[in-house]
Amino acid sequence: MVRGGGETPLAFLVALAYPITDLVLVVMVVLLIATRPAPRPVRPSLFLLGLGLLALALSHSIYVTELARGALPMSPLANAGFVAGPSLIALAALAPKVSSKVGSFGQMRRFADTFGAARQKAEPTAAEKANLDLVTRFCESFATRDMEKINAFLSPDLIYRITDTAPAVKGAEAFARIRAYVERFTSIEFKILDSWVRGSVVVNERVDSFVRPDGKVAYHLTGVFLVKDGKIVEWADYGIR
């Protein structure tokens, strides 16, 4: 087969390397999706990337087959992968992502995990006490179910993550999500079991209880809050299981 295609065996082997490499990359993307589930916001990018690589692999495979048969040039349909592949990969790069600020949630979670053991070895500063008090009053405000009082503690550009399995939302979408569950329940209580502060970051352990006509639910959580200029700018909750 090598002798039958290309000007030289080396040229054919180089051509053969293209579809093999493409298929290896496709397998890598499939394994990444299957074994390390990506956050929902980045799944479209991975899907488009996989399709783009697959399109390239198909056209490269047809090219090698036609080269071996001496049947070049290829038909327009067989060449379609060379057009669709790069286009899909470009779309993957341009697909909407979660704001880069959302990445700080991971850092905040690691921060919460490590600094709990060492919390309050030093007396909090006045600014830290103010941040801790702000978050405490914010949690208490949910008992009122008054969105005006709740929103007063939040930055207009709030980034909010309701659980570690949900994507973060920002601004108006964050406020809408908070309003949705406040209005869904007839009674809400955020019971703080423990809390600590370092600089602008406040961490608390809570049991959030919600009452609705058909029953009551409660969640044991760790909340991580970033406070700036007297407002909560980031809020993420992580379930304790």
Domain ranges of the chain: 9-97, 102-239
Lowest mean pLDDT among 72-86, 98-112, 180-194: 98-112
pTM check: above 0.85: no
CATH class label, 102-239: alpha beta
pLDDT category at 100 given cuts 50, 70, 90 is very low
- Residues of the chain above pLDDT 90, percent: 44
Q: Which of 40-44, 87-91, 108-112, 121-125 has the lowest mean pLDDT?
A: 108-112
User: In DSSP terms, which residues pair with 217 in a beta bridge?
Assistant: 210
pLDDT class of 145 with cuts at 50, 70, 90: very high
* Separation between Cα atoms, residue 54 and residue 43, nearest integer Å: 16
- The residue ranking higher by pLDDT, 59 or 177, is 177
Question: Over the chain, what is the mean pLDDT?
Answer: 80
CA–CA dist 118, 183 (Å, integer): 38
**Whether 59 contacts 79, CB under 8 Å:** yes
pLDDT of residue 8: 65
CB 150 within 8 A of CB 102: no
Residue 83 has pLDDT above 70, yes or no: yes
What is the predicted pLDDT for the residue at 2? 41
